[in-house]
Amino acid sequence: MLCRVSPVVRRRRRPRGWRAPVHWVRQRRSRGVIVGVAAVVALLLAWTAWTAWSAARDLRQVERDAIVLRAELEDGDAAGAARALERYQESAGSARSRTDGPTWWVIEHVPGIGDEAAAVATAAAVLDDLGQDGIPPLVEAAELVAARSFNPTNYSFPLETIASVTGPAKDSEEAFDDAAARLDTVDDLALTGPVGERYRELRDIVLTARATLGSAYRAAELMPSLLGADGPRDHLLVFENNAELRSLGGLAGSISRIHADGGRVEIEEQEGTSKYGGLENPVIRLTPGERAVFGDALGQYFMNASMSPDVPRAAVLARTRWERELGGDIDGVFFVDPVAVSYLLSATGPVDVPGYGSVSAADVVSKVENQIYLTAPDRAAQEDYQNAVAEAVFNAFAAGRGEPVEVIRMLATAVAEGRVRMHSFVEDEQEQIAGTEIAGELRPTDDEAQVGIYLNDALESKMTYYLAYEADVIARACTGYKQEIAGTFRLTSTVPPGIDLPPTVTGIFPGGRFFGEIEPGQQRLAVYVMAPPGGTIEELSLEGRRFDPVVTDEYAGREVAQIVTILDPGETQRIEFELRTGPGQTGPVELDVTPGAFPGSSARELRSAC
């Protein structure tokens, strides 16, 4: 076999003592340094990219775990919630560790993405802290709720069980309060793209949870006393009718006196307010601001107690008129509307109303706010039906109907939308709820900004059942320790085309107040825009037509501008306004909006522009 022999390559030997030229050496060393640096940079970039990807992956897992955890809590599965909490804690802890080290510090200082990276780190830390301090108390409380130990039995509430959740609810509220404060340290308006969107979404979730937990904590602390643990209590349950709007939601139509003693609650009296007509003089002395904005009718008619947007004042009006007409001592007043009742019925299921059939979450609003006026021309018959519905739903709730978790969730939703409000005339009880959502106060402080948009039916009709509206309001600038607030309020008539509505709905009948001035099917509305204490209303317009100057009255230390407008069937009108807060009101702005005859609300907390 022949083999090919490779030729021998001989290298030329460099002469002894030969050295490479200096520039050759420098070039080769430079290449080596460049290659080394490039390798390190590539490694760092790869590590940074992997860290960012891992953090994003962990945060996505946190979101999935949170969804499962929430579902388990809402279903009342305490064991499942505990398992979901463990998974949440693991993924949240991992996300925090990914965003809490030198690599992430470098990312936070990269131009163009540093702000987003810092926001992600803050969000991861907040989510981890909530997993350690904010959510575990809720899981602990879920065990009691899951056992249905919260449900009343035969009209008696378990006072000790209710009081037992005070500690967990308070601990959780404090954790969510800290979380909200930490999230506020980031200017989320400067964040763009998906990071900004998700950050703002997280902030809104935390704020909502904090408000709900605050209400739950105070409710757990307050409920035993309200239910008669410290002696008998008598409360008025005012069933508001959103078909004829008032600032708090609806006119005070059906009113029940509820007696509570030692945890047992029962309805002992019911009245319709229409039988208690106008007084020659208001039932209490009205302030000059109340007279200027609402007139003497605020205190002359029982049903107009809810015309005031201030719950404590509305409660005084209702209690005083009740005690004058029916006697007795009233310890507190609850305001509840039919939409809140529909939320409760989604937890209890349909309820039979003796003599009238049944009501459910899907139809209770239409039945009490609309259908009864289409079929029963007599006002007494209308109020009898509304009283019967109020009593039937109350009895179902007091008898223990409904899944407790769903009942609590639906009541919390109703409170958040302004559909459940209360005031206690027992000093210790009122101190516990003062400043919370359920108290519904126009607080007299100068350091908190409250903006109000309120509606009153100005036709004495039941037409606002066919009214939809929404508010779009932002704090857009901060100058001189004052915030500039801009808002748009849209009103839409939802009257079906061609429908023939009776006078009991339209409010238009021969000899009536507006006969010949308003066509049947039109709506006449009074809209009030209220500035914060010390604030000013700068601009106001209706459908682009500016009011110049803006005419205002003073109510409870606030400027109020009123617009009375007529809305045709199917028409949409737009009210726009600009106002300034009082000096020093640089924090979040509370927007209060009258709740209507439809689910949801525009009421919310606005992010400060300062």
Mean of per-residue pLDDT scores for the chain = 85
pLDDT of 214 over the 80 cut? no
Between the two ends of the chain, the Cα-to-Cα distance in Å is 93
User: Which residues, in sequence order, are bridge partners of residue 592?
Assistant: 452
Domain 445-606 carries which CATH code?
2.60.40
* Poorest-pLDDT segment among 155-164, 370-379, 465-474: 155-164
Q: What pLDDT does 25 receive? A: 45
Among residues 314, 267, 255, 356, the alpha carbon closest in space to that of 456 is found at 314
In 129-196, beta strands by DSSP E: none
- Residue 164 burial (CB count, 10 A): 16
Higher pLDDT, 216 or 373: 373
- DSSP conformation class of 440: -
* Poorest-pLDDT segment among 62-66, 353-357, 571-575: 62-66
Average pLDDT of span 266-277: 92
* Poorest-pLDDT segment among 40-49, 119-128, 523-532: 40-49
- DSSP conformation class of 489: E
> What's this model's pTM, rounded to 2 decimal places?
0.80
- DSSP conformation class of 337: -
pLDDT, tens digit, for every residue of 550-602?
999 999 999 999 999 999 999 999 999 999 999 999 988 999 999 999 999 99
pLDDT, tens digit, for every residue of 438-463?
999 997 666 789 999 999 999 989 99
Q: What pLDDT does 171 receive? A: 85
Q: In the structure, what pLDDT confidence band is assigned to residue 76 with cuts at 50, 70 and 90?
A: low
Domain at 233-423: CATH architecture: 3-Layer(aba) Sandwich (3.40)
Using only C-alpha atoms, what is the Rg of the chain? 32
